[in-house]
Amino acid sequence: ATPTALLVGTGRGAQLGILIKGPEVLESTRRIDTVVLDKTGTVTTGRMTLLETVPAAGESADDVLRMTGAVEHASEHPIARAVARSAAEAGALPQAHDFENLEGRGVRATVDGELVAVGRPGWVADELGALPAELTDAIDAAHEAGRTAVVAAWDGRARGVLVIGDTVKDTSAEAVRLFKRLGLTPVLLTGDNQRAAEQIAAQVGIDRVVAEVLPADKVDVVTSLRAEGKVVAMVGDGVNDAAALAAADLGMAMGTGTDVAIEASEITLVRGDLRAAADAVALSRRTLRTIK
Ligand code: ADP
Ligand code: MG
């Protein structure tokens, strides 16, 4: 029979905005020593905005925004939403055809007869060769500021850089302090650039960063931490995070996130407040202490 205390524990969790799939989940929660945190939408709000469009020499910022906006209009990615919104505000967007999404790298489509690619700077450089200095300067500056930079290219040339900003949730730094107080090691995990990720990590007090991870490889990060003997909780919100959430000793999904992430997890943090992840660990320890 299920000990009454576990039921009381899950009930108490519900009051704290922590939905626990079954009373037995508290047992694995208690043993967690490492918390892997997705960056976008988990540590940050995930509500991105386009901050700047930097054209390559001889290009116009308006053109870069218009072509990029047309492609991103077809994508659901938070980066795409930010770009498409700004581009649509600036003027009507041409129709994009043959849209393609390249997971963790970027997107491609045909606009005005040109095959336009928008995505991770490293991916565009792999396809086209070194980017012009004015663009690498803009990318470096964006990363140093903890921002995301994507490159737009067509007809074999990089045409511009779009700088996108996200905001750290005002509860994230306190959540990290709570994790550390509970003896847990927080790790930031993201597909975003290493420098940008380190900048966000520094803002909230996380010392370990694993960045530039393709969506399909997030699960490997969790699996290798477990192979090192760590007992791992993964906190995430995206479709991207589902496999990692399922592979962790404990998956915790942001209630503000995707259904796929919630279904893959044992715990849902209803309000999308990272402090509730620390509350869950504290609650499980208290609850199981009362049983023993
Ligand atoms: P995260 O782990 O932060 O959610 P993703 O794995 O979704 O990031 O994306 C990693 C990187 O791939 C982004 O930082 C961006 O450079 C590029 N990227 C992905 N999708 C798009 C898109 N629709 N438009 C532009 N760039 C994209
Ligand atoms: Mg995310």
How are strands ordered across the β-sheet holding 157-165?
A: 49-55, 157-165, 148-154, 114-119, 106-111, 96-102
**Considering only CA atoms, which residue is closest to atom 22 of ligand 1?**
106
Q: What is the pLDDT of residues 135-180, one digit of tens each?
A: 999 999 999 999 999 999 999 999 999 999 999 999 999 999 999 9
| Sequence ranges of the domains in the chain | 4-45+168-291, 49-165
Listed in sequence order, the residues at least 6 apart from 76 whose beta carbon sits closer than 8 Å to its beta carbon are none
Amino acid at position 250, single letter? L
What CATH number belongs to 49-165?
3.40.1110.10
Q: Does residue 38 carry a catalytic annotation?
A: yes
190 lines ligand 1 (CB under 6 A): yes
Residue 116's alpha-carbon distances to 15, 26, 126, 191, in angstroms, are 49, 49, 15, 22
What three-state secondary structure class fits 121?
Answer: helix
Mutate to test the pocket of ligand 1, among 105, 200, 235, 245 (most ligand atoms within 8 A of CB): 105
> Count of CB atoms within 10 A of residue 168's CB?
16
10 lines ligand 1 (CB under 6 A): no
What three-state secondary structure class fits 163?
Answer: strand
Q: What is the pLDDT of residues 218-274, one digit of tens each?
A: 999 999 999 999 999 999 999 989 999 999 999 999 999 999 999 999 999 999 999
**Considering only CA atoms, which residue is closest to atom 4 of ligand 1?**
40
What three-state secondary structure class fits 215?
Answer: helix
How far is the centre of ligand 2, averaged over its atoms, from the C-alpha of 213 (Å)?
A: 12
What CATH number belongs to 4-45+168-291?
3.40.50.1000
189 lines ligand 1 (CB under 6 A): no
104 lines ligand 1 (CB under 6 A): yes
What three-state secondary structure class fits 160?
Answer: strand
The pTM assigned to this predicted structure is 0.88
How far is the centre of ligand 2, averaged over its atoms, from the C-alpha of 6 (Å)?
A: 30
How far is the centre of ligand 1, averaged over its atoms, from the C-alpha of 27 (Å)?
A: 35
Q: Are 191 and 215 in contact (CB under 8 A)?
A: yes
Residue 275's alpha-carbon distances to 30, 124, 228, in angstroms, are 16, 37, 26
Residue 253's alpha-carbon distances to 119, 165, 179, in angstroms, are 27, 23, 16
Q: What is the pLDDT of residues 188-209, one digit of tens each?
A: 999 999 999 999 999 999 999 9
CA of 124, nearest ligand number: 1
